[in-house]
Amino acid sequence: MEILYLIFILLALHYVYFIGKVYIGLKRLQKIFGKNENSELISVIIPLRNESENIKSLCASLSSQTLAVGQYEIIFIDDNSNDDTYEKLLNYKPINSKIIRIKNGRDNQARKKKALIEGVKNSSNPIIISTDADCSFYPRWLEVMSKYFDEETAIVAGPVDLKSDINLFSKIQRLEFAGLILTGAGLIGINSPTICSAANFAYRKSVFEEVGGYSDQLGFSSGDDDLFLQKVASQTNYKIKFAYEKEAMVTTYPRTKIVEFFQQRQRWASKSLFYNNKLLVLKIILIFLFYLGLILQLIGGLFFDPLLFITFGLSLFVKIIVEYLVLNYGSKTLYDRKILRPFILAEIIQIPYIIISAIGGLFGNFKWKGEVVKR
């Protein structure tokens, strides 16, 4: 039994070390002040499918950008929509945009990546920024994102927020998602790029072509963000940055149904064990075991050894402390203090959610846009 106690303690220490490094990385991130000096042109690529209800607000938000119209283009990739998405794009699209339609004849594997590849092929500019159709943007979004690029920079990841004025479920999602964004930012801050969000992701077209784009990642439906991020980090010497500024924020919507939420998170988790960096895979497994260990300690304390309540309490306590440090720091800089209101409830819910999502992700098939897609 002593060995079991030791295992649980070591898993907790590893988790504290991991989140502690994230916190240090966040403190190292720096804003780039001053006038925008990057004159490179931008191509904004937006893959979409059956997004009729979002087209008007999407196009209005894009049209509000302060960056001069001649500095960027917008490419909409309509991926087999069977509603009136295309017709609304024709009606509302900004003047500096074009629409590419992908019609039937494609399988469901990695559809978004294939749409993005099509967008990159049809882009005219050296900097690519990808986002999603259900997003909205600060007026200076493109201006701020672009100023992080220099000749040595290949990728700039940006912050993402969720609208959370609907109900408690949306507020918990917002906090949980902010934790993911801040974790990705912190890991970039310690020069260990691991995760980011495709809703706000910028990169050099030349680097995309240099590393072969998504050619070796078409076996996964997700990963157009983190798999590519890790690929560039491991195969090139370019810098990878995080735009740690409120005006670089992209805002999107939370899931409205618990089933949709788990489908999305399982899809995200599905490729984690297939990362090329095996040390990273080991870290992910240890983090999963930490969460699984919390449940096992609680059950073990109830039915086998009450002393497991002590290791459970200590593990939960340190989890709450280190995660609060990260989220509290982010609430002061990127988000707002309201985001912390459901913190304790979210901490408890997160434990079974992480376990269920990780296990569910191993089985491979998920629903997206009304269709079943493979891992």
pLDDT for res 225: 84
* pTM value surpassing 0.85: yes
Strands 366-368 and 371-373: antiparallel
pLDDT for res 275: 83
Distance CA 303, CA 325 (A): 34
pLDDT for res 222: 67
pLDDT for res 375: 52
| Beta carbons within 8 Å of 317's beta carbon, 6+ residues apart | none
pLDDT for res 80: 85
Strands in 131-233 per DSSP E: 136-137, 153-157, 160-162, 201-204
Tokens of 39: 């004159």
Give one DSSP letter per residue of 303-337, joined into a string: HT-TTHHHHHHHHHHHHHHHHHHHHHHHHHHTS-G
pLDDT for res 34: 47
Give one DSSP letter per residue of 213-231, joined into a string: TTTT-TT-SS-TTHHHHHH
pLDDT mean by block of 10 residues, the chain; 375 residues: 88 97 93 64 95 95 94 94 92 94 70 90 96 96 95 96 87 95 97 94 96 80 81 96 96 87 77 81 94 95 91 96 96 93 95 89 61 55
152 neighbors 238 (Cβ within 8 angstroms): yes
Type of residue at 112? K
